[in-house]
Amino acid sequence: MTPRLPDREEFRHALELVLARAQTYLSEVDELPVRQAGADEAAHHFRGPLPEVGDGASAAIRELLDQGSPSVIASSGPRFFHFVIGGVTPAALAADWMASIFDQVAGAWVTSPLAVQLELTSIEWLKQLFGLAPDCSGIMTSGAMMANFTGLTAARQWWGMQHDVDIATDGFAGLPKVPVFSSGYLHASSIKALAMLGIGRAQAQLLQVDAVGRLDLDALEEALRALDGAPAILIANAGEVNAGDFDPLPEMADLAQRYGAWLHVDGAFGLFAAVSPRSAHLVRGIERADSVTVDGHKWLNVPYDCGFSFVRDATLLARPLTLRADYLPDPEGKDAPLSNRAPESSRRARSLTVWATLRAYGRAGVRTQVERHLDLAQRMAQAVDRSAILERLAEVPLNIVCFRCNPGGLDEPALDALNSRLGAALIEDGRVFAGLTRYGGRVALRPAIVNWRTRPEDIDLLIEVLQELAASLIEEYQRSGSEAP
């Protein structure tokens, strides 16, 4: 058997196949259903053993395009409101192809002056865009999860130093538990980061005044006072995922200052409130945070994966994150690698996409996009309010609308059952996606608007499809005469 090997001649045809499909997909995605019939079966095509001899690049790529396309979820299209998943701008997509073509490693200047310079420039631009403290440093990560990990790594190092312990070197032995406080809005990724950091999931104390999760500011002050001068970590949530609400940053910054605590802010998508005067009040005080998380692949609409971690005192990251080896660049030298501030070692050149999209559209472009989404969220809220069978559950401060189906006459358990079925029916239907959550204990939908492609008619379609699916569930339930749907 003669093995098939990579061949320089293969590039042209393989890339032409992809480019041709890209043109079609990108021109059709606005009107495509989010999920096509047969998506699961199409994915199953890719089960099977390791081939002994390959078929070459063209055959592999053609198989991927032909057999794989039906199982692509159009999450980069305008009708995807599930989770908080951004689209991709043309500039960012083209730059992402370049990142792969040049295959740059954004570790140090020596591996890619281009990637490193673009990262440094983009980080400065983002600080200006969001109004962050001019003296903070920043680093690109794979997303907000790893940005939370990075910011909380700095927090952990700081906390240890308050106890005269260098945790990166000596670990936690002999230290008390780390007090971590947040509201009920705390994102799952911060809790995961606490687990990864050895602080422990259970250390997150959620101080909330209601079932929705709003911060109990008095309880927070009491808890800090009770520590009697011992250091603590506060995590503020700038944009929570159920309804897009915000913890009170200025008050939390005041408490952090008064009691000597670290203030970490998770603004994965919510920090984009800063770019419009209509919403900037929501993130007032952000420049006082010790560490800040933002996502790139959500509202900035660069491709997966990309996030940003900003840390006020970057020297705290040196001990936990520096790689030392004789063959690596000197961590104290002037070309100290970016990887010494990032959780990874080798890193994709995400900076190409971020720079390209900021260069292509500028501050005004980002602001206009965010304001369009604020308008679309209000349009959705109004449609919900007009509907006889939909019920809005929360205010809409930003880009998420939290609501449920409530035709009247059903108790809470029956409403939860109805809405769970509605959520599942929506995904099964596939025309347009939104996800379920529990808001104050009630099963609810929480569509989020973060894609530059989304138009008013896509918002209307979501409401239309939901009402159609809800009507048939209600009818089925009335026909069966059962107590619960």
Ligand X SMILES: *Cc1c(COP(=O)(O)O)cnc(C)c1O
Chain contacts with ligand X (rule: CB under 6 A):
84, 143-145, 187, 189, 239, 241, 266, 268-269, 295, 307
Least distance to ligand X, CB of residue 268, Å? 3
Least distance to ligand X, CB of residue 122, Å? 17
Least distance to ligand X, CB of residue 308, Å? 10
Cβ-based nearer residue to ligand X, 89 or 309: 309
Least distance to ligand X, CB of residue 417, Å? 27
Among residues 74, 100, 123, 400, the alpha carbon closest in space to that of 244 is found at 400
Tell me which residue has tokens 């995400």.
350
> Cα–Cα distance between 449 and 4 in angstroms, integer?
46
Q: Tell me which amino acid residue 216 is.
A: D
Cβ-based nearer residue to ligand X, 112 or 293: 293
> Cα–Cα distance between 154 and 156 in angstroms, integer?
5
Residue nearest to ligand X (CB): 143
Q: Tell me which amino acid residue 62 is.
A: R
Least distance to ligand X, CB of residue 196, Å? 13
Cβ-based nearer residue to ligand X, 184 or 239: 239
Cβ-based nearer residue to ligand X, 269 or 361: 269
Cβ-based nearer residue to ligand X, 104 or 309: 309
406-425 CB burial, b ≥16 within 10 A, e <16: bbeebeeeebbbbbebbbeb
Alpha helices in 131-233 (DSSP H): 144-162, 167-170, 188-196, 217-226
- How does strand 307-311 pair with strand 291-295? antiparallel
CA 105, 146, 376, 386 dihedral sign is positive
Decide: 413 and 431 in contact? Cβ < 8 Å: no
Cβ-based nearer residue to ligand X, 108 or 366: 366
Cβ-based nearer residue to ligand X, 295 or 416: 295
> Cα–Cα distance between 172 and 210 in angstroms, integer?
34
Q: What burial class does residue 458 get, using C-beta atoms within 10 Å of its C-beta: 0-12 exposed, 13-18 middle, 19+ buried?
A: buried
Least distance to ligand X, CB of residue 213, Å? 12
Query: Which strand (E) or helix (H) includes residue 292?
Result: strand 291-295
Least distance to ligand X, CB of residue 485, Å? 31
Decide: 322 and 345 in contact? Cβ < 8 Å: no
Cβ-based nearer residue to ligand X, 421 or 446: 446
Least distance to ligand X, CB of residue 448, Å? 9
